[in-house]
Amino acid sequence: MKSLFNTTSKLLVATSLVLSIGTSSLMAEVKDKFTVSWTIYVGFMPWDYAQQTGIVDKWAKKYDIEIDLVQVNDYIESINQYTLGKFDACLMTNMDALTIPAAGGVDSTALIMGDFSNGNDGIILKNTNKLSDIKGQNVNLVELSVSHYLLARGLESVGLSERDVRVVNTSDADMVAAYSSNEVTALVPWNPQLSEIMKSKSANLVFDSSKIPGEIIDMLVVNTTTLKDNPKLAKALTGAWFEVMELMKKGDEKALTFMAEGSGTDLEGYKSQLKSTKMFYDAKEAVEFADSESLPAVMKKVSEFSYDHGILGEGAPNAEFIGMEFPGGKTFGDKKNIKLRFTDTYIKLAADGKL
């Protein structure tokens, strides 16, 4: 699910945005039909359940609108299509929200932060359990992805930097096969590849996302103009999400089995993935996370990483090029170029039972 967003892709998106400006977010208006793109991942499966069981339809009808959740096979492609205005909303990570739509000039709002990786991403070394031993090694990972970000944070924790290793760009689909090669000694995969590789006796998990809680966030992102013109969409989506969260909080095995099968695993496998995913089952907990002082600090780190790796947008002069807005009037970056917003408005309504 995590992404690679290379320079070529950025240029294609930027060019397409210019060509499609007539149908872009600038033309958003009050309407009654909406589309949301999504891809398979543990934290996104509740949306599939909500769609397939009629929960989304129920909440949409409450607000006299229609919502269609569309599965896209390729994660990055789903975000690119959202950026081009083909979808009103999309499921993505916080880093990708910054480096794709926001960097592409599309003002976007994180409506719901549903979870964060709490062990789903990790650094694996062969035949050593010390992260510091990674120095001088080639490290296989999906370059410019959250795996790359995790590596940087891990290296920082032991006084190293990316200058001390050599990154080898490797597709997530090739990660398990790569580990079987004698030449490969260090990898940064995510689940389910992470769990598969860890079955090997030579594999040692030396750092994972539980060490940086709240930094790799999975979110429902909505076009800001669309959101402002259509608050009913936000209310319906938020209501549907927390109805499913209530079922998951209760351990509803019928719902969990549905999600497991949809993601290509069984109930136990899905439960295992959930253990390394911090889900915000309670709307009040989601509000606390959205309002926390840590969120702006996290996004500052993400922005600095993105700038250092050239994925903050064409011509970005510094890490503060893209402005971000947080609940309570907090901001980071250029206030005249706010392109990514985090809101607590609708999750507060859910917490207060006012949807």
Q: Please indicate, yes or no, if residue 41 is contained in any of the structural domains.
A: yes
Same domain, 107 and 130: no
Judge whether residue 192 has pLDDT over 70: yes
Judge whether residue 12 has pLDDT over 60: no
Same domain, 190 and 220: no
Judge whether residue 4 has pLDDT over 80: no
Q: Please indicate, yes or no, if residue 1 is contained in any of the structural domains.
A: no
Q: Please indicate, yes or no, if residue 94 is contained in any of the structural domains.
A: yes
User: In angstroms, rounded to a whole number, what is the distance separating the alpha carbons of residues 41 and 281?
Assistant: 17
Q: What is the mean pLDDT of residues 332-340?
A: 97
Same domain, 173 and 240: no
Q: Please indicate, yes or no, if residue 251 is contained in any of the structural domains.
A: yes
Same domain, 261 and 191: no
Q: Please indicate, yes or no, if residue 264 is contained in any of the structural domains.
A: yes
Same domain, 325 and 337: yes
Closest CA to 164 of 174, 175, 155: 155
Give Rg (Cα) of the chain. 20
Give how many domains the chain has, as a whole number. Answer: 2
Tell which of 195, 211, 227 closes a domain.
211
Residues 6+ apart with CB under 8 A from 129: 204, 206
Give the pLDDT band (50/70/90) at residue 28.
Answer: low
Give the pLDDT band (50/70/90) at residue 27.
Answer: low
Give the pLDDT band (50/70/90) at residue 20.
Answer: very low
DSSP-derived letter for residue 318 is S
Q: Please indicate, yes or no, if residue 38 is contained in any of the structural domains.
A: yes
pLDDT in the model for residue 3: 47
Q: What is the mean pLDDT of residues 114-126?
A: 96
Judge whether residue 184 has pLDDT over 70: yes
Tell which of 177, 211, 245 closes a domain.
211
77-103 CB burial, b ≥16 within 10 A, e <16: ebbbbbbbbbbbbbbbbbbbbbbbbbb
Q: What is the mean pLDDT of residues 63-91?
A: 94
Same domain, 222 and 207: no
Same domain, 94 and 141: no
Same domain, 110 and 244: yes
User: In angstroms, rounded to a whole number, what is the distance separating the alpha carbons of residues 94 and 117?
Assistant: 11
Judge whether residue 137 has pLDDT over 80: yes
pLDDT in the model for residue 346: 98
Tens digit of each residue's pLDDT (9 = 90 or more) over 300-320 = 999 999 999 999 988 899 999
Mean pLDDT of the chain: 91
Range of the domain at 141: 122-211
pLDDT in the model for residue 134: 98
Tens digit of each residue's pLDDT (9 = 90 or more) over 224-279 = 999 999 999 999 999 999 999 999 999 999 999 999 999 888 999 999 999 999 99
pLDDT in the model for residue 2: 52
Same domain, 35 and 91: yes
Q: Please indicate, yes or no, if residue 296 is contained in any of the structural domains.
A: yes
User: In angstroms, rounded to a whole number, what is the distance separating the alpha carbons of residues 143 and 325?
Assistant: 27
Judge whether residue 6 has pLDDT over 70: no
Name the least confident of 4-8, 41-45, 63-67, 267-271.
4-8
Same domain, 344 and 196: no
Q: Please indicate, yes or no, if residue 134 is contained in any of the structural domains.
A: yes
Domain with residue 88: its CATH number is 3.40.190.10
- Are 104 and 98 contacting, i.e. CB atoms less than 8 angstroms apart? no
Q: What is the mean pLDDT of residues 40-51?
A: 94
Helices (H), the chain: 7-19, 45-52, 55-62, 75-83, 94-97, 146-157, 175-179, 193-197, 224-229, 231-249, 253-262, 267-275, 283-291, 294-308, 345-351
Pairing of strands 323-325, 338-342: parallel
Here the tokens at position 61 are 């009808």
Same domain, 25 and 65: yes
Dihedral sign of CA atoms 148, 153, 154, 158 in order: positive
Tell which of 159, 176, 211 closes a domain.
211
| Percent share of the chain, pLDDT over 90 | 82
Judge whether residue 332 has pLDDT over 60: yes
pLDDT in the model for residue 265: 87
Same domain, 258 and 288: yes
